[in-house]
Amino acid sequence: MAETGNGEFSFGTTTAEEKHKGTARNGLTKIQTAHGKKVATVCHDDSTPPVKAQTIDQLHSLQQKKRSAPNTPLTAQGSGGTFSPLSEEQRQKQQLQSISASLASLTRETGPKLVKGDPARKAETPKVAHGLDHHFAPTISVSDSSLKFTHVLYNLSPAELYEQAIKYEKGSFITSSGALATLSGAKTGRAPRDKRVVKDDATEDDLWWGKGSPNIEMDEHTFMVNRERAVDYLNSLEKVFVNDQFLNWDSQNRIKVRIVSARAYHSLFMHNMCIRPTPEELEDFGTPDFTIYNAGQFPCNRYTHYMTSSTSIDINLARREMVILGTQYAGEMKKGLFGVMHYLMPKRGILSLHSGCNMGKDGDVALFFGLSGTGKTTLSTDHNRYLIGDDEHCWSDAGVSNIEGGCYAKCIDLSREKEPDIWNAIKFGTVLENVVFEEHTREVDYADKSVTENTRAAYPIEYIPNAKIPCVGPHPKNVILLACDAFGVLPPVSKLNLAQTMYHFISGYTALVAGTEEGVKEPRATFSACFGAAFIMLHPTKYAAMLAEKMQKHGATGWLVNTGWSGGSYGSGSRIKLPYTRKIIDAIHSGSLLNANYKKTKVFGLEIPTEIEGVPSEILDPINTWNDKKAYEGTLLKLAGLFKNNFETFTNYKIGKDSKLTEEILAAGPIF
Ligand SMILES: Nc1ncnc2c1ncn2[C@@H]1O[C@H](COP(=O)(O)OP(=O)(O)O)[C@@H](O)[C@H]1O
Ligand SMILES: C=C(OP(=O)(O)O)C(=O)O
Ligand SMILES: [Ca+2]
Ligand SMILES: [Mn+2]
> Is pLDDT of 122 > 50?
yes
Chain segment 614-665, per-residue pLDDT in tens: 999 999 999 999 999 999 999 999 999 999 999 998 988 888 887 898 999 9
Residues 6+ apart with CB under 8 A from 44: 50
Give the distance (Å) from ligand 2 centre to CA of residue 427.
Answer: 21
Cβ neighbours, 10 Å, residue 641 = 13
- Average pLDDT on 144-157 reads 88
- Quick check: bond before 299 cis, omega within 30? no
pLDDT score, position 24:
47
Q: For residue 29, which phi and psi values (nearest 5 degrees)?
A: -60, 130
With cut-offs at 50, 70 and 90, classify the pLDDT of residue 27. low
Chain segment 361-394, per-residue pLDDT in tens: 999 999 999 999 999 999 999 999 999 999 999 9
Q: List the single range of 76-90, 243-257, 295-309, 417-431 with lowest mean pLDDT.
A: 76-90
Buried-exposed string 80-104: b where 16+ CB fall within 10 A, e elsewhere: eeeeeebeeeebebbbbbbbbebbb
Pseudo-torsion of CA 651, 654, 659, 660, nearest 10°?
-50
With cut-offs at 50, 70 and 90, classify the pLDDT of residue 63. confident
pLDDT score, position 80:
42
288 lines ligand 2 (CB under 6 A): no
Give the distance (Å) from ligand 4 centre to CA of residue 410.
Answer: 7
Give nearest CA residue, ligand 2 atom 4. Answer: 372
With cut-offs at 50, 70 and 90, classify the pLDDT of residue 46. low
Angstrom CA distances, 38 to 3, 14, 21, 362, stand at 16, 15, 20, 75
Q: Looking at residue 615, what DSSP letter applies?
A: B
Top-ranked range on mean pLDDT: pick from 86-100, 101-115, 583-597 = 583-597
Q: How far apart are CA 152 and CA 142, in angstroms?
A: 22
- In this structure, are residues 296 and 262 in contact, taking their beta carbons and an 8 Å threshold? yes
- In this structure, are residues 396 and 425 in contact, taking their beta carbons and an 8 Å threshold? no
Q: How far apart are CA 471 and CA 550, in angstroms?
A: 20
Least distant ligand from the CA of 376: 1
pLDDT score, position 29:
60
pLDDT score, position 409:
97
pLDDT score, position 19:
45
Cβ neighbours, 10 Å, residue 142 = 12
Counting residues of the chain whose pLDDT is more than 70, the rounded percentage is 86
> Is pLDDT of 278 > 90?
yes
Angstrom CA distances, 58 to 46, 63, 117, 475, stand at 21, 9, 20, 58
User: Which amino acid appears at position 557 of this protein?
Assistant: T
Which value does ipTM take for this structure?
A: 0.96
- In this structure, are residues 176 and 441 in contact, taking their beta carbons and an 8 Å threshold? yes
- Across the chain, mean pLDDT equals 88
Q: Where are the alpha helices (DSSP H) in 508-577?
A: 540-554
Containing 402, the helix (H) or strand (E) segment is strand 399-402
pLDDT score, position 208:
95
Q: Where are the alpha helices (DSSP H) in 456-521?
A: 498-507
pLDDT score, position 126:
53
pLDDT score, position 626:
97
Containing 265, the helix (H) or strand (E) segment is helix 264-273
User: Which amino acid appears at position 395 of this protein?
Assistant: W
- In this structure, are residues 516 and 321 in contact, taking their beta carbons and an 8 Å threshold? no
Counting residues of the chain whose pLDDT is more than 90, the rounded percentage is 74
Q: Which residues are catalytic?
A: 190, 335, 354, 372, 376-377, 391, 456
Q: How far apart are CA 183 and CA 432, in angstroms?
A: 9
CB-based pocket (< 6 A), ligand 1? 370, 372-379, 409-410, 563, 575-576, 578, 581
Q: What's the chain's Rg over C-alpha atoms?
A: 31
Give the distance (Å) from ligand 2 centre to CA of residue 157.
Answer: 25
Chain segment 457-510, per-residue pLDDT in tens: 999 999 999 999 999 999 999 999 999 999 999 999 999 999 999 999 999 999
> Is pLDDT of 173 > 50?
yes
With cut-offs at 50, 70 and 90, classify the pLDDT of residue 444. very high
Beta strands in 229-332 (DSSP E): 239-247, 255-261, 290-295, 312-316, 321-325
pLDDT score, position 143:
66
Beta bridge partners of 2: 10
Closest CA to 167 of 234, 238, 61: 238
Chain segment 423-442, per-residue pLDDT in tens: 999 999 999 999 999 999 99
Closest approach atom of ligand 2 to CA 454: 5
Half-sphere exposure of 395 (CA within 13 A, CB side): 25
Half-sphere exposure of 339 (CA within 13 A, CB side): 29
Beta bridge partners of 195: 313
Q: For residue 481, which phi and psi values (nearest 5 degrees)?
A: -100, 120
pLDDT score, position 43:
58
Q: List the single range of 11-25, 113-127, 256-270, 339-353 with lowest mean pLDDT.
A: 11-25
Beta strands in 177-319 (DSSP E): 180-182, 195-198, 216-218, 239-247, 255-261, 290-295, 312-316
